[in-house]
């Protein structure tokens, strides 16, 4: 067996540098260049003190001009901007979830979309107050899908999924006035509150930001995750690979990118279509190779072991290899730069959603009722494009790492059940996990999530924190681009246990897992919320007492802020490595880093020094252990 070694930043940098040479050769514009053009960033924007929500402005707060024309001060402006930022993220995740509900609603035994996990469907039905007893699978699926869709606009009541949280959480949310109502309503309320002449009170704005986040995490995102499992199967442990080396020189390469798995599921299926494989052969290719970027990648890697070519800041690199026949995108986190960049190569940049239209792309509308045919057409287009590849421009960096992925809550429980010790509960619970945490074999857990951001060296913060935490016997649960950073580095290889402290290493050996568990895409952070609540229930405590924290060291998106708000509201302290746009208001900063602790039992911590950020998390975990007397 090959010796196990992490891929270093230097190696990743060399790969990128080599690809940037290609960019220069073809006259392509890259994010590295655009970052230079945009730096330094606008200070008003960075501090959150620019307001442009009415045409009396834009107003910018300075010592000389402490109020906007309407009289709003920095605290009101920052609070409003923070809430709008959250609403953007919450709407985005939740709309993705809504699409999944619609897809389930058209599922049929002889259609493109089927129910792959019927047992999960039956388990979920009661959450929507539906009795599954005696119902035919698709009748039940459609009933659940409709009930889920109603969560978006129902006139009364709260999000049904919140009943899955600990009793204390539900009481906390009700007491604090942040128990989320209809999903769309929370976004609308956020927009209404932040219209000119409405709320300028930080406390009210931040409370709504938490509620809007909760409608995402315990509403739209959670339904996106759970119903995706029903449709496409609940992830199980599966082996795959990550980094640009998964792109194959002798095959037709198709990259799926974005977030909604509906189309990519079909593309993965049609890449094995005998007719298309024969066509590929005819065109001189040895096969059809699907790779992924961002969360669409996470979705298909978790369920099919499709390799991950990279994460958010790798998306241009994928095209720069010159070996990509098509990059097929659905929604979110897609650089508009991919249009002009693809034009420098033979690559077809295919947009597929009305939500994500871009110049210089070929638009193929994804109609879920014709998904199979659309996927067939797209794969065929890519195959036919193979002959147009300019061999002189092809350079595929060879680095890649083995990775184990697919750790849904169900799979984690299943793996724990496999531990042959007498304490195993045959019905499947987190008891063995609770036991290793209380005994101190594992000190705690960190949920490392979120994006890349050029303000941080690509993947550096993710990977450095991971190495430090596992060496300190802290197990990691990962999602989004953080999980892909880990995969590329080699931290999802089971042999990464060698980098752990003795306790965690023993657990990894016993349970046969890597020390960092890939739990999926960003909507799948809802899986982590269920995990922490079930773990807290197992221990007879509430979530804020758990030795568990969350961390997004390189985040950039509105979605990440919405996530932060529901993670904190779920009682998990959240550590950020990039400054949110709130520094211009001492009141908002105070609330987010301290005040909300009185409401929900957890707060934000912000620190851009990665070494310190890691120390702070370890310290917090040890404080929680001490408070529990473990």
Backbone angles phi, psi at 181, to 5 degrees: -90, -150
Backbone φ and ψ for 446, nearest 5 degrees, come out as: -125, 130
Residue 588 is assigned to a ligand binding site: no
The yes or no reply on residue 481 touching ligand BF8 (CB under 6 A) is yes
CA distances from 584 to 3, 455, 480, 554 (A): 50, 19, 29, 21
- What minimum distance in Å lies between the beta carbon of 542 and ligand SF4? 39
Query: Which among ligand SF4, ligand BF8, none contacts residue 295 (Cβ within 5 to 8 A by kind)?
Result: ligand BF8
* Interface segment toward ligand BF8; rule CB under 6 A; list 11-19, 113-121, 335-343, 554-562: 554-562
Question: Residue 57's binding partner, choosing from ligand SF4, ligand BF8, none, with beta-carbon cut-off 5 to 8 A by kind?
Answer: ligand SF4
Q: How far apart are CA 68 and CA 80, in angstroms?
A: 13
Any binding-site annotation on 51?
yes
Minimal distance in Å, beta carbon 79 to ligand BF8? 23
344 is in an annotated binding site: no
- Of 293 and 470, which has the nearer Cβ to ligand BF8? 293
Residue 504 sits at φ, ψ, to 5 deg, of -65, -35
Determine whether the annotation assigns residue 533 to a binding site: no
- Name the residue nearer to ligand BF8 (CB basis): 23 or 293: 293
- Verify binding: residue 312, ligand BF8, rule CB under 6 A: yes
In this structure, what token pair is assigned to residue 511? 């349970």
Nearer to ligand BF8, 258 or 547 (CB): 258
CB nearer to ligand BF8: give 59 or 451.
451
Write down the H helix ranges in 245-313.
261-270, 274-282, 294-304
How many angstroms separate the CA atoms of 536 and 519, rounded?
A: 19
Q: Of residues 206, 227, 295, 475, which one binds ligand BF8 by CB under 6 A? A: 295
Question: Which of 401, 482 has the CB closer to ligand BF8?
Answer: 482
Q: Answer yes or no: is 500 a known binding residue.
A: no
Distance CA 226, CA 498 (A): 34
Annotated ligand binding at 294? The verdict is no
In the complex, the smallest distance separating the C-beta of residue 68 from ligand SF4, rounded to whole angstroms, is 2
Q: For residue 333, state whether it binds ligand BF8 (rule: CB under 6 A).
A: yes
Say whether 481 counts as a known binding-site residue: yes
Q: How far apart are CA 30 and CA 458, in angstroms?
A: 14
Contact window for ligand BF8 (CB under 6 A) among 302-310, 411-419, 459-467, 553-561 = 553-561
From residue 257 to residue 286, the character string flagging contacts with ligand BF8 as x (rule: CB under 6 A) and all else as - is --x---------------------------
551 is in an annotated binding site: no
Contact 414, 512 (CB under 8 A): no
How far apart are the C-alpha atoms of 312 and 317, rounded to whole Å? 10
Residues recorded for the chain: 630
Q: Give 294 or 532: the residue with its C-beta nearer to ligand BF8.
A: 294
Decide whether 292 or 584 has the Cβ nearer to ligand BF8.
Answer: 292
- 376 with 270: CB under 8 angstroms? yes
Sheet holding 474-478, edge to edge: 516-518, 474-478, 444-448, 548-552, 574-576, 604-606
295 is in an annotated binding site: yes
**Would you say 59 is a known binding-site residue?**
yes
Letters for 442-471 (x = contact with ligand BF8 by CB under 6 A, - = none) are --------xx--------------------
Measured from the CB of residue 48, what is the shortest distance to ligand SF4 in angstroms? 12
User: What is the torsion angle, in degrees rounded to the nearest 10, for the CA atoms of residue 553, residue 557, residue 562 and residue 567?
Assistant: -20
Q: Which spans of this chain sit near ligand SF4 (rule: CB under 6 A)?
A: 51-54, 56-59, 68-70, 72, 77, 196
Taking CB under 6 A as the criterion, the residue among 16, 228, 408, 557 binding ligand BF8 is 557
Q: Which token pair is 235? A: 């992830």
- Under the criterion CB under 6 A, does residue 522 sit at the interface with ligand BF8? yes
Using CA atoms, how far residue 160 sits from 152, 154, 228, 271, 549, in Å, is: 11, 11, 18, 38, 25
Q: Which of 523, 520, 546, 522 is nearest to 533 (CA)?
A: 546
Determine whether 506 is exposed, middle or buried from the number of CB atoms within 10 Å of its CB (0-12, 13-18, 19+): middle
Reading the block at residue 594, the tokens are 């301290």
d(CA 394, CA 188): 48
Q: How far is the CB of 199 from ligand SF4 (least distance, A)?
A: 11
- Closer to ligand SF4 by CB, 77 or 308: give it: 77
DSSP 244: G
Candidate ranges 400-408, 428-436, 539-547, 556-564; the one touching ligand BF8 (CB under 6 A):
556-564
Distance of closest approach, residue 189 Cβ to ligand SF4, in angstroms: 18
- In SS3 terms, 78-93 reads as HHHHHHHHHHHHHHHH
In the list ligand SF4, ligand BF8, none, the entry touching 119 (Cβ below 5 to 8 angstroms by class) is: none
Report the interface residues with ligand BF8, using CB under 6 A.
259, 294-295, 311-312, 333, 450-451, 480-481, 521-522, 557, 559-560
Residues at the annotated binding site?
42, 50-51, 54, 59, 70, 259, 295, 333, 451, 481, 522
């Amino acid at each position: 067996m090959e010796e196990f070694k992490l891929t270093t930043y230097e190696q990743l940098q060399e790969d990128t540098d080599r690809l940037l040479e290609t960019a220069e050769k073809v006259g392509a514009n890259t994010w590295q260049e655009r970052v230079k053009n945009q730096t330094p960033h606008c200070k008003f924007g960075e501090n959150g003190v620019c307001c442009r929500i009415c045409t009396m402005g834009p107003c910018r707060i300075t010592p000389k001009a402490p109020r906007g024309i309407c009289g709003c001060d920095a605290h009101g402006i920052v609070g409003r901007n923070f809430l709008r930022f959250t609403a953007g993220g919450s709407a985005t995740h939740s709309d993705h979830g809504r699409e999944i509900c619609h897809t389930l609603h058209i599922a049929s035994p002889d259609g493109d979309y089927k129910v792959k996990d019927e047992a999960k469907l039956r388990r979920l039905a009661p959450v929507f107050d539906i009795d599954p007893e005696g119902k035919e699978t698709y009748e039940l699926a459609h009933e659940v899908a409709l009930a889920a869709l109603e969560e978006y606009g129902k006139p009364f009541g709260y999000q049904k999924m919140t009943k899955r949280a600990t009793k204390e959480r539900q009481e906390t949310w009700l007491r604090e006035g942040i128990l989320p109502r209809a999903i769309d309503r929370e976004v609308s309320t956020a927009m209404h509150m932040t219209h000119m002449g409405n709320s300028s009170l930080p406390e009210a704005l931040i409370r709504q930001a938490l509620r809007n986040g909760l409608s995402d995490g315990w509403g739209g995102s959670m339904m996106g995750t759970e119903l995706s499992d029903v449709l496409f199967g609940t992830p199980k442990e599966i082996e795959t690979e990550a980094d640009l080396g998964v792109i194959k020189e002798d095959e037709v390469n198709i990259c799926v990118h974005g977030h909604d798995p509906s189309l990519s599921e079909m593309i993965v299926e049609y890449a094995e279509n005998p007719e298309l494989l024969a066509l590929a052969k005819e065109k001189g290719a040895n096969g059809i190779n699907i790779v992924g970027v961002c969360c669409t990648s996470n979705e298909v890697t978790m369920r099919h072991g499709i390799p991950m070519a990279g994460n958010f800041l790798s998306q241009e690199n994928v095209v720069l290899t010159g070996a990509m026949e098509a990059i097929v995108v659905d929604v979110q986190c897609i650089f508009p730069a991919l249009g002009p960049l693809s034009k420098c190569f033979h690559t077809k940049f295919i947009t597929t959603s009305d939500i994500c239209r871009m110049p210089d792309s070929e638009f193929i509308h994804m109609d879920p009722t014709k998904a199979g045919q659309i996927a067939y057409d797209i794969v065929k287009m890519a195959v036919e494009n193979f002959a147009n590849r300019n061999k002189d421009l092809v350079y595929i960096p060879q680095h890649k790492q083995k990775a184990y992925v697919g750790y849904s809550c169900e799979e984690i429980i299943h793996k724990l059940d496999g531990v042959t010790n007498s304490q195993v509960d045959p019905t499947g619970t987190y008891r063995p996990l609770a036991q290793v945490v209380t005994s101190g074999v594992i000190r705690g857990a960190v949920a490392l999530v979120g994006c890349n951001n050029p303000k941080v060296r690509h993947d550096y913060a993710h990977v450095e924190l991971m190495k430090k935490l596992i060496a300190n016997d802290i197990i990691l649960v990962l999602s989004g681009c953080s999980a892909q950073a880990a995969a590329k580095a080699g931290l999802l290889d089971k042999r990464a246990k060698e980098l752990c402290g003795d306790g965690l290493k023993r657990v990894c050996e016993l349970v046969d897992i890597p020390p960092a568990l890939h739990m999926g895409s960003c909507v799948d952070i809802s899986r982590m919320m269920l995990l922490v609540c079930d773990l807290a229930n197992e221990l007879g405590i509430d979530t804020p007492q758990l030795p568990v924290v969350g961390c997004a060291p390189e985040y950039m998106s509105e979605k990440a802020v919405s996530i932060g708000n529901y993670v904190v509201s779920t009682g998990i302290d959240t550590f950020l490595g990039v400054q949110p746009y709130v520094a211009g208001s001492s009141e908002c900063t105070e609330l987010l880093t301290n005040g909300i602790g009185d409401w929900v039992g957890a707060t934000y911590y912000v620190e851009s020094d990665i070494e310190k950020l890691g120390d702070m998390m370890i310290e917090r975990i040890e404080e929680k252990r001490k408070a529990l007397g473990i």
